[in-house]
Structure 1
Amino acid sequence: MDSKSLIINISTALFQKKGYLGVGLNEILKACNLSKGSLYHHFPNGKEELLIACLHSLNEAITTDMEEIFQHYPSTVTATQAMIKKLIEQFERDGMITGYTFSSIVSEIGSLSEPVRYACALSFTKIEGIFSNKLVTDGFSEETARSIALMMTAAIEGSIMLCLTQQTSEPLKIVSQVLPNLLRVL
Structure 2
Amino acid sequence: MAAATRALIIEVSTRLFQQKGYIGVGLNEILKACQISKGSLYHHFPGGKEELLIACLQTLNDAITQDAEAIFARNSGTLEALEDMIGKLTADFEAGGTLMGYTFSSMVSEMASLSDPVRHACGLLYARLQDVYARKLEGDGYRAEEAASLALLINAAIEGGMLLSLTQRSAEPLKRAAGTLSALLWRERGSGKPRRNP
TM-score, L = length of structure 2: 0.91
Q: 2:9 aligns with which of 7, 10, 17?
A: 7
> How do 1:171-182 residues align onto structure 2 when only pairs under 5 Å count?
171-182=173-184
Cα deviation, residue 73, structure 1: 0.6
- Output one character per residue of 1:52-80: Cα deviation in whole Å (capped at 9) or x when no partner: 00000000000000111111111111111
State the distance in 1 between where 2:182 and 2:82 align. Answer: 10
Q: 1:28 aligns with which of 12, 23, 30?
A: 30
Which residue in the other structure is 1:56 paired with? 58
RMSD: 1.0
Which residue in the other structure is 1:139 paired with? 141
Question: Percent identity at matched positions?
Answer: 55
Which residue in the other structure is 1:99 paired with? 101
One-letter amino acid matched to 2:14? T
Contact 2:77 2:136 in 1 (8 A): yes
Contact 2:165 2:171 in 1 (8 A): yes
One-letter amino acid matched to 1:183? L
State the distance in 2 between where 1:23 and 1:172 align. Answer: 28
Aligned-partner SS, 2:28: helix
- Output one character per residue of 1:119-163: Cα deviation in whole Å (capped at 9) or x when no partner: 000110000000000000011100000000000000100010000
State the distance in 1 between where 2:107 and 2:128 align. Answer: 17
Aligned-partner SS, 1:2: helix
Deviation >6 Å, runs of 4+: none
- Structure ID, larger Rg: 2
State the distance in 1 between where 2:171 and 2:183 align. Answer: 20
Q: 1:168 aligns with which of 157, 163, 170?
A: 170
Structure 1, unpaired ranges of 5+ = none
> How do 1:59-78 residues align onto structure 2 when only pairs under 5 Å count?
59-78=61-80
State the distance in 2 between where 1:26 and 1:32 align. Answer: 10
TM-score, L = length of structure 1: 0.97
Q: 2:124 aligns with which of 122, 130, 145?
A: 122
Cα deviation, residue 91, structure 1: 0.8
One-letter amino acid matched to 2:124? L
